[in-house]
A = this chain, B = another copy of it.
């Protein structure tokens, strides 16, 4: 039987929409926090058994309709010869940083299969034990580049923007290196058995429109085109992707994942019917009283109740301070939803 997620990605779902959450295996889960007390993030990412255990947590506890690899969008830099650490409350730290075009020579592409074999192993451990589809992922090349460049990654990504305006050619070179490795990385994940891929170009919307086209969209297209032959469904995600919905649709991904800034039904109606939409609850809603969580969730579900190709998700990751009970309540609200019959 085809899973809810796979049906939705084909825009063929008939029943309730599937629901999963970005960062569903994260700090808001007590079991995850317990593991984190004994292991650094770096250990958890590299230890395939523990990573698989974390990936399974929200499936077992919350009954979400998809699992997503426990990994980070910056993991790919290890296949480019760089070191990756995670700093508490700050995020990934890549060393050495690639701060100037001169630093490009530090980058030495390795075999992804070899350097990131722990991700392949996580997938192999997960597949026999999972009751729901497994989503693989990577970062969008532009977003990964911004993490390689910025000393302290904020949404402003100043150094990244300065580089691309001042020396677009070398910036393209950096993006090409990341794109090649990312394609190899996703091919490895697909071969290992993931059911879908999500590409997180989280910070691409910081770019002005012409630069978005030149430095983000172009490389997303390269990845999508390279994977076309595998027939894997691809979901494109970025903060603010409402802005770029039509350009992203031209890449013919299976789905686009949107944040909360536009009504999802308007985005759905403006896109070709063969492209599914994913989203778009504000993660802060899950800090609200239950009545509000229910009302806003049902508002979304009501608006989308005649649409195929709809995957319920947040517009960005679950916030670490979210009460687990609220996440559970949200998931249950989606799963128990039955639209009132519509009298037109």
Contact = CB atoms under 8 A, between A and B. Distances in A.
Contacts of A211: 282
Contacts of A296: 210
A143 to B, nearest CB: 16
A261 B205 contact: yes
Interface size class of A (residues with CB under 8 A): 20 to 34
A22 to B, nearest CB: 15
B287 A165 contact: yes
Given A260-B208, A260-B209, A261-B205, A285 B240 contact: no
Instruction: State the copy count for this chain.
Output: 2
Interface string A284-303: 11011100100010010000
Contacts of A243: 242-243, 261-262
A211 B166 CA distance: 39
Interface in A170-205: 205
A288 B161 CA distance: 9
Contacts of A261: 205, 207-209, 212, 240, 243
Interface in A141-181: 155, 158, 161-162, 165-166
Interface string A232-245: 00000000101100
A263 B209 contact: yes
Contact of A284 (B158, B205, B284, B288): B158
A288 B165 contact: yes
B165 A292 contact: yes
Contacts of A262: 209, 243
A158 B299 CA distance: 23
Nearest to A321: B158
A289 B207 CA distance: 18
Contacts of A260: 207-209
Interface string A248-291: 00000000000011110000000000000000011011011100
Nearest to A284: B161
A155 B155 CA distance: 8
Given A161-B282, A212-B261, 20 more contacts: A155-B155, A158-B319, A161-B287, A165-B289, A165-B292, A166-B287, A166-B289, A166-B292, A205-B261, A207-B282, A208-B261, A208-B282, A208-B315, A209-B260, A209-B261, A210-B296, A210-B299, A211-B282, A243-B243, A243-B261
Top-10 shortest CB links A-B: A208-B260, A165-B288, A208-B282, A161-B284, A243-B261, A162-B287, A209-B263, A209-B262, A166-B288, A155-B155
9 contacts: A158-B319, A165-B288, A165-B292, A207-B260, A208-B285, A210-B296, A240-B261, A242-B243, A243-B262
Interface of A: 155, 158, 161-162, 165-166, 205, 207-212, 240, 242-243, 260-263, 281-282, 284-285, 287-289, 292, 296, 299, 315, 319
